Amino acid sequence: MSKIGRKPISVTGIKIEIKGQEVHCTAPKGSFVYLLPEDLKAELNEEKKEVAVKVAKLSDSSNRLWGLHRALLANEVQGVTVGFEKRLEINGLGYKAIVSGKNIQFSLGFSHKVDFELPQGVSLETDKSGQRLTFKSQNKVLLGQVCCRVRSLRPPEPYKGTGIKYADEVIRRKVGKAKT
């Protein structure tokens, strides 16, 4: 029994249609079609405004698939209703990001500027200093990949703490050389 698979997904304020293995969802921020594997089926409870993912036929992998696809479907529903957001911070003297349309230009202490293009479906907001970045998207996976790629441009280093890090990330600092 999957603990996550048993939980129903709340779909208040969303139009849901189930056609065989496909779950069609329409919400104010967008719409999507989610395809379930053959081992699973979706059931809509109109009274409680919930969608439950059930096991249609029992197999060796159906329990793992059950929890996985329930979580992926819940992420899609949350994306079109509320959306996802991740925050990054740039630490370092002169380190900043400048946004122009879908392009970001980073100054990260290299001898050159680093250009980065945002993919379709991801938006970015910065503060005045250009050191606090807020990425927003409806797709949780795409948002995570973009933030990971931006962070990999200049990962935080443990001695001074300079680089790009997640806002809630804690960098373990190391002590430098001791004077004799």
For the segment(s) 84-166, the CATH number from 1.20.1260.10, 1.10.3720.10, 3.40.50.1970, 3.90.930.12 is 3.90.930.12
* Each residue's pLDDT tens digit, 17-63: 999 889 999 988 888 899 998 888 899 988 888 898 888 878 777 87
CATH class as words, domain 3-81: alpha beta
Tell me, yes or no, if the two domains 3-81 and 84-166 fold the same way: yes
Torsion angle, alpha carbons of 69, 31, 49, 2, to 10: 10
What is the domain partition of the chain in residue ranges? Answer: 3-81, 84-166
> pLDDT truncated to tens, each residue of the chain (180 aa)?
678 888 899 988 889 999 988 999 998 888 889 999 888 889 998 888 889 888 887 877 787 788 899 999 999 999 999 999 999 999 999 999 999 989 999 999 999 999 999 999 999 999 999 999 999 999 999 999 999 999 999 999 999 999 999 999 999 999 988 877
Sign of the alpha-carbon torsion through 58, 60, 66, 67: positive
C-alpha dist (Å) from residue 37 to 4, 32, 52, 155: 17, 16, 14, 38
